[in-house]
Amino acid sequence: MYRFLLILSSILFLSQTCYAFSIDETLEKYVAPVSDKIASFIFYPIPVCGTDVPIIIFWILFAGIFFTVYLRGIAIWGFKHSIDILRKPAEKDDSGNGEVSSFQALATALSGTIGLGSIAGVAIAISLGGPGAAFWIFVGAIFGMSLKFVEASLAVKYRRFNLDGSISGGPMHYMAHGLTRKKMRWLGQPLSVLFAILCIGGAITGGNMIQINQTTQQFINITGGENSFLYGQNWLVGLLVAVVVGLIVLGGIKSIAKVTEKIVPFMCALYIISGLIVIFANITLIPHALAVIVKQAFFPESVAGGIFGTIIMGLRRSVQSNEAGTGSAPIAYATVKTNEPVSQGFVSLIEPFLTGLLCLLTAFVITITNSYNVKAGISGIQMTSDAFSTIMPFFPIILAIIVILFALSTLISWAYYGQKAWTFLFGEGKKRIIIFQLIYCSFIVIGSVLNLSSVINITDAMMISMSVPNIITMYILAPEIKKDLCEYSRRHKLAMLFNKNWYKHFEEKYL
């Protein structure tokens, strides 16, 4: 209770400061130039066919292709097994060491990825890269499944059990301990510190500020726009959400998992049903919408940079929405109750696939209703809201409920991710944890008063930069994950696509 009161009082003080000194204008003035400079560094471009392509996008795309080939298309042949693991009886699911079940770990990871990136992020991609960007968002999600498998498996394999019974895991641990086993401590230690720093930055920005920013915008839209009682007082929404998040994260991963396992299925079902209503109301336009998305993916019209611009925008939003390769979700997967690290790797395949489907659903609704061509300058959550409103005029209210659930789930998951990165750097002491929680909840209020343009660049830059140290480590530890996969497949008699006994060939060649 003391910790919560301390967090609440600090948030209230910040909120009053926002109101008294018009901090929204002040932050906009000073934050925007800083975020632009950071983004220009992270997204350093090289010219490709007349288009400036960020090098880091190639870095993640190549890693996704590499691990898809290296693991023999595990996204395809391993997907059924991932479903089978989730369908196991509860008593078997709880047989291993850990804090949460496989489903709870997946729900927590999904709550961090199936956020507003699946709603507002897709609309942003379409407004900048055309409907064809949606195709590349889904392609990025498919390649991301292999990256998730490796990340999750490594996170469970190298997790650490604390004295209080809690678990700490994630990329910073398999960097520090996994590379040390390879006699590469000289590389593992600095990479783990770098990742933890970037993870804290990603938590505060992508997992925090953009979520509350678009939530606040939707509430203002449904309450009258410029005539809304919230207009000019965005901090009120930020304050309310910050208090709720503060209450939840105080309970740790078990408290977070209990919330996410209830929120995630409900919010996904509500959004999918709403999307299907819009699509089937325009059922005669489905072939046309599909044709537009596919055509614009390869032959874009009136899009800056042509096809490469569309591809890059789609892949950039894909990484931001499913976070494959960034190393965030493995922090949650590390807490699962299991004695087989590879099993959670299979479960993690579901995460980017579902995220990709939801992104595709949003894109299809926007395309089939032609909302991306209606109003110039409309993007983000407003474009998605307008698309749904063409069939359901009352939908902005439903979307507000969905948005707050998406945002809340992402906020609490990233609060946990950031906290684990923070304690990796500064220790597990309660006072140290309170400091991070104060910072995190304060940025919820700050994010609610910023404009979208000030948030989007810093969000993408901080989250995608996490992939640099993470993917380096994944390459180095790839052989041992393939060995673990081989042994696991032999025990469970898993057959790769078109090759029933693939692991026997691997044993003969590598073991």
**DSSP string covering 57-69, please?**
HHHHHHHHHHHHH
pLDDT at 85: 86
Residue 327 CA from chain centroid, whole number: 10
The mean pLDDT of 159-176, rounded to a whole number, is 84
Looking at per-residue pLDDT, the higher value among 369 and 54 belongs to 369
Mean pLDDT to the nearest integer, 298-309:
59
Please give the pLDDT value at position 357. Answer: 85
**Token output for 195:** 């990742």
> To which H or E segment does residue 304 belong?
none
- What is the rounded distance in angstroms from the CA atom of residue 294 to the CA atom of residue 360? 12
Mean pLDDT of 400-416: 79
Q: Half-sphere exposure (CA, 13 Å, Cβ side) for 230?
A: 20
For the cut 60, the answer to whether the pLDDT of residue 511 exceeds it is no
Per the model's pLDDT, the better-predicted residue between 426 and 39 turns out to be: 426
Tell me how far CA of residue 334 lies from CA of 166, 234, 331, 503, in angstroms: 11, 36, 5, 26
Does residue 405 form part of some domain?
yes
Task: Indicate if the pLDDT at residue 478 is higher than 90.
Answer: yes
Question: What is the Cα–Cα distance from 262 to 255, expressed in whole angstroms?
Answer: 12
Mean pLDDT to the nearest integer, 387-408? 75
Q: Are 238 and 24 in contact (CB under 8 A)?
A: no
Judge whether 301 lies within some domain: yes
Which of 151, 107, 202, 196 is closest to 414 using CA atoms? 202
pLDDT band of residue 235 (cuts 50, 70, 90) is: low
* Alpha carbons 238 and 215: distance in angstroms, whole number: 9
pLDDT at 90 exceeding the cut of 50:
no
Residue with the larger pLDDT of the pair 233 and 90? 233
Return the closest-CA partner of residue 208 out of 488, 496, 410. Answer: 410
Query: Hey, how many other C-beta atoms are within 10 angstroms of the C-beta on 254?
Result: 13
From residue 412, alpha-carbon distances to 197, 259, 305 in Å are 19, 9, 37
State the amino acid at position 146 in one-letter form.
Answer: S
Asked if residue 300 belongs to a domain, the reply is yes
Q: Which residues contact 233 (CB under 8 A, 6 or more apart)?
A: 19
Question: Average pLDDT for residues 125-147, to the nearest whole number?
Answer: 81
Among 95-109, 440-454, 462-476, top mean pLDDT goes to 462-476
In a domain, 85, yes or no: no
| pLDDT higher than threshold 90 for residue 150 | yes
Would you call 328 helix, strand, or coil by DSSP?
Answer: coil
Tokens representing 252 are 């740790």
Assigned domain for 437 exists: yes
Specify the number of domains making up the chain.
1
Give the Cα separation of 414 and 411 in Å (integer): 5
pLDDT at 148: 92
pTM equals: 0.83
Q: What percent of the chain has pLDDT over 70?
A: 71
Q: How does 223-248 read in b/e, with b if 16+ C-beta sit within 10 Å?
A: eeeeeeebeebbbbbbbbbbbbbbeb
Return the closest-CA partner of residue 487 out of 474, 476, 502.
502
Task: Please report which confidence band the pLDDT of residue 412 belongs to, taking 50, 70 and 90 as the band edges.
Answer: confident
User: Which H helix or E strand runs over 45?
Assistant: strand 45-48
The helix or strand, by DSSP H or E, that contains position 38, with its residue range, turns out to be helix 23-42
Given this model, what pLDDT does residue 411 score?
Answer: 82
- Let me know if residue 492 belongs to a domain: no
Cβ density class 266-303: b for 16+ within 10 Å, e for less: ebbeebeebbeebbeebeeeeeebeebbeebbeebeeb
Which domain range does residue 154 map to?
2-73+114-486
The mean pLDDT value for 227-255 works out to 69
Percent of the chain topping pLDDT 90:
12
Which pLDDT band, with edges at 50, 70 and 90, does 191 fall under? Answer: very high
Give burial (CB, 10 Å; 0-12/13-18/19+) of 58: middle
In a domain, 507, yes or no: no
The predicted pLDDT at position 91 comes to 45
- The enclosing domain of 176 has a CATH number of 1.20.1740
Residue 467 lies in a domain: yes
Q: Are 31 and 451 a contacting pair, CB within 8 Å?
A: no
Strand partners, 168: 160
Asked if 174 and 157 touch (Cβ cutoff 8 Å), the reply is yes
User: Three-class SS of residue 113?
Assistant: helix
| More confident of the two residues 115 and 259 | 259
Rounded Cα distance, 417 and 497, in Å = 35
- pLDDT on residue 229: 57
The pLDDT of residue 192 is 93
- Tell me the per-residue pLDDT of 252-294, one tens digit each, with 9 for 90 and over: 666 676 777 777 788 788 888 888 888 888 888 888 888 888 8
Beta-carbon count within 10 A of 17 CB: 12
pLDDT value of position 259: 72
Give the span between the Cα atoms of 41 and 441, in whole angstroms: 27
Q: Give me the chain's average pLDDT, please.
A: 76
Average pLDDT of span 311-316: 68
